[in-house]
Structures are given as C-alpha cells and as structure tokens.
Amino acid sequence: MKKEIEIALITILVFVLVLVFSLQYVSEEREEALYESTITYETYIHSKDLWKPAINTHKIARPKTQKETGVSYVPILMFHNVAPIPPNASELKKSLTVDPKLFESMMEYLKKNGFTPITLKELNKIWAGKMPMPLKPIVLTFDDGDKGVYEYAYPILKKYNFHFVIFLITKYTGMHTHFYMSKTEVKEMHDSGLCEIGTHTRDHVNLKKTPLITKIYEIKTCTNDVKRLFNYTPTSFCYPFGGFDRESVELLKANGYTMATTVIPGVANSKDNPLLLPRIRIDGRENLKAFIMKVNLKP
C-alpha cells in the first residue's frame, strides 16, 4: 500500500511539473499573440528573422585560424522565398525574398562556373565515404516551404538539374494556403529526384525557448507528418530562428536525423557537428556580385 501511494505521488508531481512548464510556454505565446493579431502571419513567422546586412556581408566567416588539410569544405546556402517583390514591400520581405530574375542569374553562375548542387542527404554520404565528392559541391536550402519556391525557383532548378533541400513547417503542408506549398507541389518536386524534404518543426517554434515536452512534440510530429504525407523518412532538419540547445540536438539524433542546419554564418566542413551546420545567408536585397563573393568564400 505504501509503495502504491509513493508511485501515485510521483505521478502527480510529474504531472504538475509538466503542467507548470506548459502554462509558462502558453503564457509567453499569449504575450506575442497581441502582436500577431496586428500583422499578417507571413510577417509574424519571420519577425525574429530580420537582419541588417553589413557593408561587406560577403566577408562572413567563422573564426578559423587556417584551412585544415584533409577537411572537406562545402558552402550551404540559406534561401527563403523566390518571388517577385512588390515596390512597397517591407525590409523584412525584401530580405527574405529573391527576385526570380536574380535567382536565375545566380543559378546560371553556378552552372557556368562548375558548381554541383547536392542535397544534405548526399553530403552526409559523401562525408561518410559512401559517395564520391563531386566537383565544387554546394547545398541550396530553402526554409519554411514558401509557395514561391515551387512556382519560381523549382522551374529554374529543374532547368539546370540542380539538387536542393526544402525545410517544411509541416503544419501548413497539408493545407491550401497562399503562402506555403501544398502536398501535391512538394510531392512533385520530391518525385523529380532533385528535392530532399527536410523539416522545420511543425509550428515554426524556437526550440531553445520551449520546454522539453514541446521540443519532443515539435520534432516528433513534423517527422511523422512527412512520413505520412510523402511516405518518406526525413533525415535533415533546420532550426527555426536558429534556436537550438543540447536537448534539441539529442532529440534529433533519437528521431533519426543525421544533418541539421543553423543560422551560424560560415562554410560547413566535414569536422563540424553534422547537427549544427553553419550556412551562408542569401539576402534578396543584395545583388549578383554579393552572391558570387559568398559562394566563393574561403574557410
């Protein structure tokens, strides 16, 4: 009888702790809800993503003393949307959106200069010695699953036979919205053999700022969403807002992920933690010259 009482008390304690952490998280979300109600969700979801480009943004690099011999360096580019930019667009929208004509010139440059776009799944195999290293490898990633990636970027990527990665906020993938790609559109790209489907949590939450129970839900659910919608098991992940911690990384491992990208600026290399890969951010306000400088960054 005494043992049963102890078990009951422990169960109640665990429940109370979970409830307290959940209420704290909900309280924080409610504080932001007032702000969310005054703007479009498209803007809100990126509200913490805005950055002001420095005068020489192409010079971003991680603090490395020298290029290590025997190490494979691969630039991973971070795009968001590709679409025409209205004249009255906010700085946020301009920074996150690359005009289709500029995007075409970027891809044309990569093709003419011998770059080989690959997926993160392929990069993982290359670094594991299971695939040969192609000439001038580069990874093109697209965060969020914006509609313009299918409408404007995909035809160009298909034209050049470029491989690429999309990171889906899976809550919206099965919906019919004006902002995000549909299940049918994602499936078409994936079936082409060019596109790797990665995840970006289910609700686009900052994992560093959420309780453990929310981290578990977000990672597990977005993984299962992709399995259910596309009969495909994702192995690549992108941290929303660049937020991660030790728990997040361990949860990704437990759910079968082998590669994950951050917003830490720099060129990825084979000695990096594969679940904390740096990227080079492509800003829609910059020109082709800035893009060329970024893709040719030296470690």
Residue 35 to residues 85, 87, 180, 201, 213, Cα–Cα distance (Å) = 24, 25, 22, 22, 25
Q: Which two tokens stand for residue 53?
A: 């480009």
- pLDDT computed for residue 2 by the predictor: 59
Q: Dihedral (C-alpha) 219, 225, 230, 231: value to the nearest 10 degrees?
A: 80
Region of residue 280 (left: phi > 0; alpha: psi -120 to 50; beta: else): beta
Decide: helix, strand or coil at residue 34. helix
Gap between the Cα atoms of 275 and 124, Å rounded: 11
- pLDDT computed for residue 298 by the predictor: 80
What SS3 string covers 200-258? CCCCCCCHHHCCHHHHHHHHHHHHHHHHHHHCCCCCEEECHHHCCCHHHHHHHHHCCCC
Q: What one-letter code names the amino acid at 228?
A: R
Task: Report residue 79: phi and psi, to 5°.
Answer: -105, 165
In this prediction the pTM is: 0.80
What helix, strand, coil percent values describe the chain, rounded to 5?
45, 15, 35
Would you give per-residue pLDDT tens digits along the chain (299 residues)?
A: 556 656 555 555 555 554 444 444 434 443 433 333 333 333 333 434 433 443 333 344 444 434 555 678 999 999 999 999 998 999 999 999 999 999 999 999 999 999 999 999 999 999 999 999 999 999 999 999 999 999 999 999 999 999 999 999 999 997 777 899 999 999 999 999 999 999 999 999 999 999 999 999 999 999 999 999 999 999 999 999 999 999 999 999 999 999 999 999 999 999 999 999 999 999 999 999 999 999 998 87
Gap between the Cα atoms of 135 and 143, Å rounded: 25
